[in-house]
Structure 1
Amino acid sequence: MDKRLLLISGIMLLWTMAGAAQQTVTDDKAKKVTNGFSFTEGPFWHSEGYLLFSDIPANTIYKWIPGSMESQIFLKPSGHSNGIAMDSSGRLILVQHDGKVSAVNTDKKMVLLADSYRGKRFNSPNDLTIASDGRIYFTDPPFGVSDSDKELMFSGVYLLREGEEPEMLFDGFQTPNGIVLNESESKIFVNDSQSGDIMVFEIADDGTFEEPELFASVGASAESGSADGMVMDREGRLYSTGPAGIHVFNSSGEQIEKIDLPVRATNMAWGGNGNKTLFITTPSAIYKLPMKAEGINK
């Protein structure tokens, strides 16, 4: 090939690589949609077109309908719920700082699924992810339990199969928090608020964890945020709250972007048309952020 053509080809390749590096998952700013809360967490987009989220100190789950600045009470008391998800039968599953994991039937009656491990009260179940076969994985940090009520001297990550005793899968975190399955359900990611580390586990055929590996880190907890809620998109990217915004990692664990936010983020969920909006919880308000990526709900 002519040297000049080689040079032009090389320049075009560099331009292409530079353009790819500059691509972002969003080109918009987060906008507040409802506010006036004590501490919001656990957002969940319902397929009927509305957002549910927990206000932990208020012991309430709220419902927000797009187009409104007001939110209405969906469930109170909520057991000081944090994470909210839905199983394959359409029941809402709550992890609750009252030391419980519960299901909510269509009539909003709460059914206890688990409240202890080997006879000892859970600390404060915090976040969860549900596999397609109904396996519930959840974290149990000590955030919402008093010293007088605390019975477990470790903070575990658990597997719960309905009708069976919970199985503790990992106790190597100080403050396990966010947890999410990948799309194929072959891996699960768990972060630690204190250190900011995000660990990845291979999932064995029986649903338990293989040896963990460090996937990435958002850095130690700070006033501007910490490792907390996590989601994934269809491109295999992992999003985690962290100091000063939302940190985005590719499938190799390399940070490729940080989404700046006006306030500290506590958690997030995909929703809206085509699952291309991130709904973000903060201490006092809910924000929405239009995205280029399409999210997966796990």
Structure 2
Amino acid sequence: MSMVSDAYEYYDQRFRALTVPIAKVERLYDGCRWAEGPVWFGDGNYLVWSDVAENRMLRWVPGLGVGVFRAYSNNSNGNTRDRQGRLVTCEHLTRRVSRTEADGKITVVADRYNGKRLNSPNDVVVKSDGSVWFTDPSYGILSDYEGERAESEQTGCHVYRVDAQSGAVTIAIDDFVKPNGLAFSPDEKILYIADSGRSHDEKGPHHIRAFEVGEGGKLGKGRVFAEIEHGVPDGFRVDTQGNVWTSAQDGVICYSPEGAKLGRIKLPEMVSNLTFGGEKRNRLFITATSSLYAVYVSANGAQRP
């Protein structure tokens, strides 16, 4: 285990109350091709994440280290858990969102819209009403590195909602270039969605947008919540106070609920995603290129379980 020193940058005094200055950033594992999609299992006291290009999922257990969770993961990317504690996974290779049932069986949540295959689901979140929301950029079909090269069958890269009762797949929003990470505010009245379009076009979007969530999952008009100056926003999470912690190039930036940039945790690699975990959900687990990092903070993650 290695440590990262001088990891904090404070842009606003409020960030000091959200961090533990004496807590070092720890590298828990190094050996991935592209680490992504961390998800915490509080009932099992372990973390699972994707190694997308290596086509596997790994598991870190405190005191025991890292082992293979799933050897052939269909180039899995983003992960979350639903309200029953089941693992929900975005798979690039199969171009679907899957769910791992309590007995280990894998079922399909969504793999098509209007009878046509999805692009390559990237990140996913489950609302308290059981609806599944996921982003569908084209990263997994652009080459054979993180999936399989193919032509898109959809009209673009959209954000989708899967109804909890009927299983119907609908487009929640369709004006993104490369929709990526997404998360609800603690009260679920706002849905934040990242657009990482600058990853393949220097003039493309590189921001997080915020949408009011109405009845039946209808989204109101979006607004730009935060513009990422360097790199693009990828995965992010929200704490119980409504602060947004997002990946941004070689670090994690924290924004207040109003969109003020509070501070940054610096990493030596490009950050892809993050999640809160640990017994009190006050440990930030960060996937960054080849590694898994962790740091204790003074914030608590809003997402359960």
TM over 0.5, yes or no? yes
2:19 corresponds to which of 6, 21, 25: 25
CA distance in 2, matches of 1:182, 1:270: 14
1:175 alignment partner in structure 2 = 178
Which of these residues, 31, 35, 43, is aligned with residue 40 of structure 1?
Answer: 35
1:41-190 aligned at under 5 Å gives the runs 41-47=36-42, 48-69=44-65, 71-98=66-93, 99-146=95-142, 148-162=150-164, 163-190=166-193
Deviation for aligned residue 1:208: 1.9
Match of 1:199 in 2: 209
**What is the CA distance between 1:140 and its match in structure 2?**
0.5
Q: Contact 2:209–2:226 (CA<8 Å) still a contact in 1?
A: yes
Return the letter of the residue paired with 1:142.
S
Residue 275 of structure 2 is aligned with which of 261, 269, 274? 269
CA distance in structure 1 between the partners assigned to 2:124 and 2:152 by the alignment: 21
Deviation of the 1:19 alpha carbon: 6.0
Q: Distance in 2 between matches of 1:149 and 1:86?
A: 30
Q: Given residue 270 of structure 2, which amino acid in structure 1 is its aligned partner?
A: R
Shift of the alpha carbon at 1:254? 1.0
Q: Choose 183-192 or 20-29, whichever is displaced more.
A: 20-29
* Bigger Rg over Cα: 1
Count of residues in correspondence between the two structures:
276
**TM superposition shift of 1:76:** 2.9
Distance in 2 of aligned mates of 1:190 and 1:235: 18
* Residues in 2 aligned to 1:36 and 1:243: alpha-carbon distance in whole angstroms: 19
CA contact (8 A) 2:184 2:191 kept: yes
Kindly report structure 1 stretches of 4+ aligned residues shifted beyond 4 Å: 18-24
| Cα distance change on mapping 1:26 and 1:218 into 2, 3 Å | farther
Shift in Å, 1:244: 3.1
Q: Post-superposition shift, 1:39?
A: 1.0
Pairing partner for 1:292 from 277, 295, 298? 298
Matched position secondary structure for 2:191: strand
Shift of the 19–44 alpha-carbon distance from structure 1 to 2, 3 Å rule, reads: closer
Please state how far the C-alpha of 1:24 moved relative to its aligned partner: 4.8
**How far apart are residue 276 of structure 1 and its match?**
0.5
Distance in 2 (CA, whole Å) between partners of 1:128 and 1:278 is: 18
Report the CA distance between 1:220 and its aligned residue. 5.2
Change (3 A) 1:156 1:26: farther
Q: Distance in 2 between matches of 1:22 and 1:104?
A: 39
Seq. identity, %: 30
SS at match of 2:216: coil
Instruction: Give the CA deviation at 1:261.
Output: 1.3
Quote the residue 2:6 is aligned against.
none
Q: CA deviation at 1:72?
A: 1.4
Aligned to 2:145: none
**CA–CA separation in structure 1 for the residues paired with 2:133 and 2:90:** 10
Contact 1:159 1:208 in 2 (8 A): no
CA gap 1:132/1:33 in 2 versus in 1, 3 angstroms: same
Rounded to whole Å, the distance in 1 between the matches of 2:36 and 2:163 is 24
Whole-angstrom distance in 2 between the partners of 1:110 and 1:73: 17
Contact 1:280–1:288 (CA<8 Å) still a contact in 2? Answer: yes
* Residue type at the aligned position of 1:84: N
Cα-to-partner distance string for 1:140-194 (whole Å, 9 max, x where unaligned): 0110114534212311011012443211111211111110011111110001112
Q: Do 2:18 and 2:297's aligned partners in 1 also have CA atoms closer than 8 Å? A: no
Amino acid in structure 2 at the alignment position of 1:212: G
Counterpart CA distance in 1 for 2:294 and 2:63 is 12
Alignment root-mean-square deviation, CA: 1.7
User: How far does residue 61 in structure 1 lie from its aligned partner after superposition?
Assistant: 1.4
The structural deviation recorded for 1:114 is 1.2
Quick check: 1:101–1:114 contact (8 Å CA) kept in 2?
Answer: yes
Q: Which residue of 1 aligns with 2:5?
A: none
State the 1:235 CA deviation.
1.4
Greater length-normalized contact order (CA 8 Å, ≥ 6 residues apart): 2
2-side partners of 1:161 and 1:275: how far apart?
Answer: 28
Structure 2-normalised TM-score?
0.86
